[in-house]
């Protein structure tokens, strides 16, 4: 009888330990997962040809940049009204400035959209237009994200504004008259869920315009 009791106690102890470890791992995953901020790209459209400095102050770890920074996380380019950028450091012309990084982000989907993978193109076309992207920028965004999101049965999508702009601060000199930043959070889900639709507003595009888009998926 005593041996049987000891065995039961040992099994119970192992079970309790397994539960504790499982909860600890779950908490660690939720609080410390390192999300990739994919392909934020920066477009510049001055009214006249000007020299522009763009500095990135990122709370995470920058993993990729193109072209390389000139100094201190800063690009120095000559920007033209058509959006073409001539980089002082490389002496080459670019369409946009590119960077990627990783950051421990807590996702908060208090509002958003549930989108079928098959419906991702018309969804993005509609929402990106509301968010102020022009057709060329929308094309770049969709051709990058469409292959990643169309494979999912459903996607839960939220456009992050406040947290993203706090962790990835842009300092552009001279200051643009219009700064548009679009950052999408997308999570694969197996079935539709009820979630309040996110309210989106359309920014103005006047004067010297700077645009950035990027995203993160889980």
| Paired tokens of 77 | 């380019």
Residue ranges, the chain, pLDDT below 70: 1-35
pLDDT digits (tens, 9 = 90+) for 95-113: 999 999 999 877 778 999 9
Nearest by Cα to 213 from 96, 53, 78: 96
What pLDDT, on the 0 to 100 scale, is given for residue 24?
Answer: 37
Report d(CA 101, CA 96) in Å as an integer: 17
What pLDDT, on the 0 to 100 scale, is given for residue 118?
Answer: 98
- The pLDDT > 70 percentage for the chain reads 83
What pLDDT, on the 0 to 100 scale, is given for residue 33?
Answer: 45
Paired strand residues for 45: 209
What pLDDT, on the 0 to 100 scale, is given for residue 109?
Answer: 85
How much is the pTM?
0.83
What pLDDT, on the 0 to 100 scale, is given for residue 23?
Answer: 40
Domain ranges of the chain: 1-32, 34-217
Q: Using the 8-state DSSP alphabet, how is residue 134 labeled?
A: -
Paired strand residues for 54: 75, 172
Report d(CA 93, CA 87) in Å as an integer: 6
What pLDDT, on the 0 to 100 scale, is given for residue 30?
Answer: 41
- Residue with the two structure tokens 């102020």: 132
What pLDDT, on the 0 to 100 scale, is given for residue 6?
Answer: 54
Report d(CA 196, CA 209) in Å as an integer: 31
Spell out the alpha helix ranges (H) of 33-134: 120-130
């Amino acid at each position: 009888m005593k041996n049987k009791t000891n065995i039961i106690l040992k099994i119970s102890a192992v079970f309790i330990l397994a539960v504790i470890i499982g909860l600890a791992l779950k908490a660690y995953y939720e609080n410390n997962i390192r999300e990739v901020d994919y392909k934020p790209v920066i477009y510049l459209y001055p009214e006249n040809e000007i020299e522009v400095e763009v500095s990135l102050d990122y709370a995470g770890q920058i993993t990729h940049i193109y072209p390389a920074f000139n100094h201190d996380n800063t690009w120095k380019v000559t920007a033209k009204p058509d959006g073409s950028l001539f980089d002082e450091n490389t002496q080459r012309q670019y369409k946009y400035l590119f960077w990627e990084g990783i950051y421990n982000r807590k996702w908060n989907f208090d509002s958003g959209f549930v989108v079928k993978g098959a419906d991702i193109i018309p969804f993005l076309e509609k929402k990106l237009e509301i968010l102020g992207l022009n057709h060329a920028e929308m094309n770049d965004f969709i051709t990058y994200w469409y292959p990643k999101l169309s494979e999912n049965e459903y996607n839960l999508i939220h456009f992050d504004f406040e947290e993203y702009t706090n962790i990835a601060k842009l300092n552009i000199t001279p200051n643009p008259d219009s700064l548009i930043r679009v950052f999408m959070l997308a999570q694969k889900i197996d079935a539709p869920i009820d979630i309040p639709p996110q309210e989106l507003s359309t920014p103005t595009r006047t004067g010297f315009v700077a645009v950035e888009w990027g995203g993160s998926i889980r």
